[in-house]
Amino acid sequence: MGEFARLSRERFGEHADEYVRSATHAGGPDLDAVVRLVDAQPEWVALDVATGGGHTAIAIAPRVAGMVALDLTPEMLDAAARHAAERGVSGIEFVLGDAEALPFPDASFDVVTCRIASHHFGDVQTFADEVARVLRPGGRFVLQDQCVPEGAAAATFVNLFDRLRDPSHNRALSESAWVEVVSRAGLTLGELSHFENRHVLEEWASMQGCSSDTVKRLREMLADAGEIALAWMDPEGEGSLQSFTIRQIVLVAEKP
């Protein structure tokens, strides 16, 4: 298991219930876009990778014949299963596994989703290659994740800011980088959309149990952000009301 996989398992195991309750993960126009782009058919078998609190799998499961929800963290899978039961959604198979070594045969799924998770992966190209492998011909990949500016310096700043809050954050990609990853995996890019989520910094940090010292350092980073990163993150307010923007990308790609 790689470093970021180990860190993800440790940290998400500790904070599993917070992610089930997270408003960002629970819904909104971005999740609606994922469900729309999946365009589920009743005979399909679907896979949700790094399911977290299970929000995406729960939204898709009633629309397909089979739904598999995979996550690296046992505690996260347990929390997602409880969440599904509370929502009255049955028929989801919860599987422990690594996004970069999917434990399924070739051509197993009609659609694969991954939402707000790939920035934790050690190697997103390996992940995309695995998605292409387990998709059936004509199958669909729908991804949502936070993204970073195109400029290297600003992109590095945004990723370092996220990693200070959560050491299991590896690297979010820019739009052009995602287009390249999908192409290298042999998938054909379709629709691509952008969304913005505004977060109160203290609440965002508390989801990962950050100390007051870490929150202080996050504020200092925002204060020192360069022009491009500052425009990208768009901080507002002060103190406990200080907020900033996380920008996200949603894309759909198909396997020829």
The torsion defined by the Cα of 213, 214, 220 and 221, in degrees rounded to 10, comes to 160
Question: Can you tell me the mean pLDDT for 130-148?
Answer: 97
Specify if 206 maps to a domain: no
Work out how many domains the chain is built from and give that number: 1
Cα gap 86→83, rounded to integer Å: 5
**Mean pLDDT within 108-131:** 97
Q: Using 50, 70 and 90 to split pLDDT, how confident is the model at 166?
A: very high
The predicted model gives 224-242 an average pLDDT of 96
The answer to whether position 59 is within a domain reads yes
Q: Is the pLDDT of residue 5 over 60?
A: no
Q: Quick check: is 191 in a domain? A: yes
Please report, for the domain that includes residue 123, its CATH number.
3.40.50.150
Q: Which is nearest to 194 in space by CA: 234, 116, 249, 245? A: 249
Range of the domain at 45: 3-150+167-199+246-254
Share of residues in the chain with pLDDT > 90 (%): 84
Q: What was the pLDDT predicted at 29?
A: 81
pLDDT tens, position by position, 67-112: 999 999 999 899 999 999 999 999 999 999 999 999 999 999 999 9
Q: What are phi and psi of 57, to 5 degrees?
A: -60, -40
Place 128 in a pLDDT band, splitting at 50, 70 and 90.
very high
Quick one: how many helices (H) and strands (E) in the chain?
12, 7
Domain annotation covers residue 215: no
0.85 cut: is pTM over it? yes
Query: How many C-beta neighbours within 10 Å does residue 78 have?
Result: 15
